[in-house]
Structure 1
């Protein structure tokens, strides 16, 4: 459908530009650029809003596409929930899987449109987790559409994503491999693996640590950035890794785990270091999450208090009494972590 006169237009500018899309209006026979955008969807949203505010003009027959709904929902969702960087990356990746539907009017989309996307993902060998994230995004968009009174449809709960079958089940590090790490403790990156194995931190939590999060006087680490609310916690420093933490505290830079330039590792760059360490101790095939699995397994084998173990690993308690009324102080948590040998 052709836009009416005076509605303005969107142009893609030539050259290598960070924001190549421009919203243009005509004034006195000349075109004037109002705003620049990184993508066409944002430009179209701005165009519609600009005409509503400045000209009280709504495009006849305009239907909100999936892309427009997504780009309207995301800023509102960020303002309401302040999601983590990993969550934002997950939304963007999930929306890419829905790209074949992005220009379809959202109100016209049906159950089978979404199910075909998920079925295609499963046939391509994508994980259960990836399918679940796409379904979750669809649910969030449908709730937002209901909130703005666009539609009350809710297909997300009906979507089938298959069963969660682990592609590579996690396995704990053997005592021999842990001993090999101690034998090579002076090699680059080995200390970081040992820190993971004696704290139970997620790798993202470790990479986000700053030196100000470490209390060497009282021997604990405060996790301030985590993927879950239960992940915000205190972890006592095991006596075996105290020298490793102390050495990291003396290095340049603000992050506790810093590269040679004193900067924080990205997840990708740390994975390169991880693979080098695994090759060094002949433990190829292990992932960073195996460290958490190792800590959980060793604490179970040592008869650790279940509540203390959950606090250390940052797992939410399933029981109301445990979540609300049970408090474990740092001394009890330290007793639990020291069960690791």
Structure 2
């Protein structure tokens, strides 16, 4: 469960995306909800790459979203990240991913790309700001957190 939470924090995907997620060539491919979010590519951060391959196909561990939420709450209470009054939900991982990218100095346009948000209305980045997987990997690797699992 902790590994799954870390994977969600380092990828920014919505919980609903994990059922259809694929992993190829050290990237997550998936997404739901919007055209910009569907089938997006998010490089796997080096901090989680060691265990992601072993988790593939078991991302939600066969749980429903409600079971996952309940188990996530239990784990975060056990490790004293949450309290009875203040707690996190799976979508909190998405907020954390965005905040980590922001603190690491990743541009707004690249944060949008990694989060699966539209670049509509941003003609410069939407039309000319293409990124390779390698360039996105450079951006995601700007996140520096000590992580021991």
Residue from 63, 71, 80 that aligns with 1:265? 63
Structure number having the greater helix percentage: 1
Structure-to-structure mapping, 1:1-341, within 5 angstroms: 189-209=1-21, 213-215=22-24, 218-223=25-30, 225-232=31-38, 233-249=40-56, 255-259=57-61, 264-284=62-82, 285-317=87-119, 318-341=121-144
- Equivalent residue number for residue 147 of structure 2: none
Contact (CA 8 Å) 1:207, 1:257: kept in 2 or not?
yes
Q: Deviations over 1:68-100 (max 9, x none)?
A: xxxxxxxxxxxxxxxxxxxxxxxxxxxxxxxxx
* 1:242 Cα offset (Å): 0.7
Quick one: distance in 2 between partners of 1:280 and 1:315?
33
Structure 1 unaligned regions, length at least 5: 1-188, 250-254
* 1:247 Cα offset (Å): 1.6
Q: TM-score, normalised by structure 2?
A: 0.84
The structure with more radius of gyration: 1
Aligned-partner SS, 2:76: helix
Alignment size in residue pairs: 138
Aligned-partner SS, 1:208: coil
Q: Deviations over 1:273-314 (max 9, x none)?
A: 211221122122112122111111121112112222111111
* 1:258 Cα offset (Å): 4.7
Structure 2 unaligned regions, length at least 5: 145-149
CA RMSD of aligned residues (A): 1.6
Say which structure, 1 or 2, has more relative contact order (CA 8 Å, 6+ apart): 2
Quick one: distance in 2 between partners of 1:222 and 1:268?
23
